[in-house]
Chains A and B, each alone.
Chain A
Amino acid sequence: MPLKFGVKDGIIVGAAGGVLWGLVSMAVNSATGAFAPEAGLVHDAVSFTLGGGLFGVVAGAFIGAGARFIPFGNIYARSVFTSTLIWLLLRAGGAMLSAIEPERYHVLTPETLQGLLLSALLGAMIAGVWSFWKGPSREDGDTLKA
């Protein structure tokens, strides 16, 4: 039997991976210095945890729901593809807002590049939590079935 990664599993794994990802994002930003935080550490810890959890749940649900449609069998490839696609869609919306209200929505290249890499990291972390939760790959690999 192939490993089953349904929507329900995706939400649980996505929430856990997303919360971790939020906190890791804080650390990554501190290391890169792409954005100088304006709020305090505690405030950011809470907002990054909540925001990461939200993104993780949505990404996890889409990974589970899209198992039949996403053209990758490997869980890492599928998760990274899905989370990056979600980020790109949101970023496209942001670009539209920026075009409509350029004085309010500024596009900054370092932050955008960091966001793109972090979105890929979100997928990798969700897949990592899944692998940790369900154990190492079985002989049938990481094949997902919706």
Chain B
Amino acid sequence: MERILGRENTGWMIIGAAALVLIASAMVVVAFGMESVAPGVHDAFHDFRHVIGMPCH
């Protein structure tokens, strides 16, 4: 039977999972324009946020 969770794979899985969490967090920051987390993100993605239907001012 193929071994899926070896030590090497586990390390890469943790790195991949951390990267995914980072990307998902970035998506939330972009979706809500969180200036306190990433200064400039509100203006940078302002039109994008409106077009995808997220509330903005």
Interface, chain A (partner B; CB < 8 A): 7-8, 11, 22, 25-26, 28-29, 34-35, 37-39, 44, 47-48, 50-52, 54-55, 57-58, 61, 87, 90-91, 93-95, 97-98, 103-108, 111-116, 118-119
| Chain B residues within 8 Å of chain A by Cβ, number | 23
Main secondary structure of the interface of B (DSSP, over half): helix
- Measured between beta carbons, the chain A residues less than 8 angstroms from B28 are 90, 93
- Can you list 21 A-B contacts with CB-CB less than 8 angstroms, sorted by A residue number? A34-B51, A37-B47, A48-B47, A54-B23, A54-B30, A55-B52, A58-B20, A58-B24, A87-B53, A90-B31, A90-B54, A91-B54, A94-B31, A94-B32, A94-B54, A97-B32, A97-B55, A107-B55, A112-B53, A118-B51, A119-B52
A106 in contact with B44 given A54-B26, A93-B32, A115-B52 (CB within 8 Å): no
Nearest B residue to A112, CB-CB:
B53
* Distance (whole angstroms) from the CB of A134 to the closest CB of chain B: 21
User: Does the CB pair B51–A29 fall under 8 Å?
Assistant: yes
Q: Measured between alpha carbons, how far is A84 from B17 in the docked complex, in Å?
A: 22
A58 to B26 Cα, complex, angstroms: 10
Task: Give the tally of cross-chain contacts (CB within 8 A).
Answer: 97
A55 cross-chain contacts in B, Cβ below 8 A: 27, 52
B residues at A contact (CB < 8 Å): 16, 20, 23-24, 26-28, 30-32, 44-48, 50-57
Pair A44/B55 contact, Cβ less than 8 Å: no
